[in-house]
Amino acid sequence: MKVFNNLLKLMMAFACSLTLQAANNEPDTQEALAFLSEAESRLEEASHELSHASWLANTFINYDSQTLEALTYQRFLELSVQYATDAARFNDLELGTSDRRKMELLKQFLTIPAPLDSEMSRELAEIFSELQALYGAGEYCRPEGVTGQEVCYSGDRIENLMRESHDADELLEFWTGWREIAKPMKALYERQVEIGNQGAQELGYDNLSVFWRSKYDMDADAFAADADDQWLKVKPFYDALHCHVRAELSDYYGPEVVPPTGPIPAHVMGNQWAQDWTALYDIVKPESSDLGYDLDQLVQEYVSDEKDMVRIAEGFFTSLGFDPLPETFWERSMFVEPVDHLAVCHASAWDLDDKDDLRIKMCIDKSADDFRTIHHELGHNFYQRAYKEQPPLFRGSANDGFHEATGDTISLSVTPKYLVDIGWLDEEPPAEGDIGYLMSIALDKIAFLPWGLMIDKWRWQVFNGEIPPDEYNRGWWDLREQYQGVTAPMQRSEDFFDPGAKFHIPGNTPYMRYFLAYIQQFQFHRELCEVSGYEGPLHRCSIYGSEEAGEKLNAMLEMGMSRPWQDAMEAMTGQRELDASAIIDYFAPLKDWLDQQNQFRQCGW
């Protein structure tokens, strides 16, 4: 009965929408406010239904839970599409600041907006599905063993293998083999861009490039220019890291595999896309890299079970002045992998009712990595609860980078100082091991930044026609070499569609959120450390126990999406702009060390 009622409501919404479109009279303020009220109410209800269906589908995988999630998602998506297109009717109507913001958020809710033409909308949906299916079913197969039996590798298996292997020939084989899955995507992607551009134009944007770049409370071109400006602040440090890593890889593999000058071949970076270099740590680490403690060992010693790890992380937030998590969090979360059914183990934070039904989903291991991850995930939960009093359309992070940045900011405080504060260490270890610690973080955070920027640079240029379809692959590798200093290990013609080998391209997931988050987290961390009264190297700071830092953080979290992100940034840091200088402050000791190592090397590419 509930499903029938929902479908009936959906049909009524479509009928209402068609009536609106057919109306010849110009919309007035009263009509706009009624439209916003209905949209918020309907989308809130549909969102809650989808949240519960998705939770079930993620924590109890079977045919019925997957079917239920698919049906619920389809209804939610159709509703979102219709409200987005209807919102464009009010483009020229004068509204109050808050109502105009809601109207724009409705239009920008979609990633690839569908045109009103039903046939094109249907075609776009089919392309979405086919692209995701091509990626999801992707495998690289090869004969193995004495029998030559064919063995197939999924993307996840290949990614794990490339983290663990240092065999250049094997790495090249798997790097090349995985990219075969993307060849059939190219024509589909080209058609998707055509349809999406028309949908964006119907919403009042020049093309998808402008549509994507207009979601940041500033002129689209100004946003792109600011992203470049922030990258240029960090680039000297990235160049130094690149120079050191290239030299060490050249020594390890030999100059015939990794030349000592120029861009680095992409297949030897320990990651399918060269976006994360942490697998190279043992090759590039400094000689004095002993941290003076073993966090894995401390977790084993001081944590009784998986739920205890979460309670310790909750204690970080309550030490800042936040209220404890509700009892339902402990009753309904998934902390360990189920033994009697399948579940998705990837860590995530959930808010199922926009009130207090907060949960995390993890298959927790008693490890250092998961200890940090729990702090990150609870950062999402406390953010979700902080903005629960906002209207439905304002329940979210100030921009799409703020949520990830908040979780990562908390993780940056998992330092020796924090371990001393909670009684796991008697004293902070000496600074001799700091370079190794900073190197391990830089191979993740700094190595990622140019990738995080260029992947959407490519899409923006594809969307606006700067990179035409017959140059998709060339444009991709030109940008990768320009920003990352990474090159394909072999010739890549336009017969290939190498962008499609990265999930976020066929999955149509914008990537600037990650670039922004990797900058914002250090900006947040620097400010909160200052507010807490900490004096010392930024990478050793923990805000644990500082209610002053908690008040500063909460002032930003409570705003949700109700104001431009610049207002939220100002509430948090006193600045109204991104400022990547915090990254330079954080990694300053490592930069000095890298400059010494690179003194007689030829850097750049």
Q: What's the pLDDT tens digit per position in 207-254? A: 999 999 999 999 999 999 999 999 999 999 999 999 999 999 999 999
447 catalytic residue (yes or no)? no
Q: How confident is the model at residue 7 (pLDDT cuts 50, 70, 90)?
A: very low
How many angstroms separate the CA atoms of 344 and 337, rounded? 9
Catalytic residue among 38, 78, 504, 588: 504
Q: How confident is the model at residue 16 (pLDDT cuts 50, 70, 90)?
A: very low
Catalytic residue among 63, 119, 256, 346: 346
377 catalytic residue (yes or no)? yes
Catalytic residue among 88, 347, 431, 588: 347
Please give the average per-residue pLDDT across 84-103, as a whole number: 92
Q: Is residue 494 over pLDDT 70? A: yes
Q: How confident is the model at residue 73 (pLDDT cuts 50, 70, 90)?
A: confident
Catalytic residue among 238, 437, 514, 518: 514
Catalytic residue among 49, 314, 404, 527: 404
220 catalytic residue (yes or no)? no
504 catalytic residue (yes or no)? yes
How many angstroms separate the CA atoms of 70 and 64, rounded? 10
Model confidence pLDDT, tens digit, residues 159-185: 889 999 999 999 999 999 999 999 999
pLDDT score, position 3: 38
Q: What totals of helices (H) and strands (E) does the chain contain, helices first?
A: 24, 6
pLDDT score, position 12: 37
202 catalytic residue (yes or no)? no
Whole-number average pLDDT of the chain: 91
Greater pLDDT, 107 or 570:
570
φ, ψ at 579 (rounded to 5°):
-150, 95
pLDDT score, position 313: 97
pLDDT score, position 5: 41
Q: How confident is the model at residue 591 (pLDDT cuts 50, 70, 90)?
A: very high
Beta bridge partners of 361: 334, 348
Greater pLDDT, 137 or 469:
469
pLDDT score, position 419: 97
- According to DSSP, the β-strands at 348-351 and 264-265 are unpaired
Catalytic residue among 314, 377, 481, 527: 377
267 catalytic residue (yes or no)? no
pLDDT score, position 397: 94
Q: Is residue 261 over pLDDT 50? A: yes
Please give the average per-residue pLDDT across 484-502, as a whole number: 96
Beta bridge partners of 61: 342
52 catalytic residue (yes or no)? no
pLDDT score, position 584: 94
CB contact at 8 A, 296 and 368 = yes
Q: Is residue 2 over pLDDT 70? A: no
**Which range (61-65, 320-324, 420-424) has the least confidence?**
61-65
Catalytic residue among 380, 403, 525, 539: 380
How many angstroms separate the CA atoms of 550 and 597, rounded? 40
Q: Is residue 9 over pLDDT 60? A: no
pLDDT score, position 274: 95
**Which range (114-118, 340-344, 363-367) has the least confidence?**
114-118
Please give the average per-residue pLDDT across 436-443, as a whole number: 93
405 catalytic residue (yes or no)? no
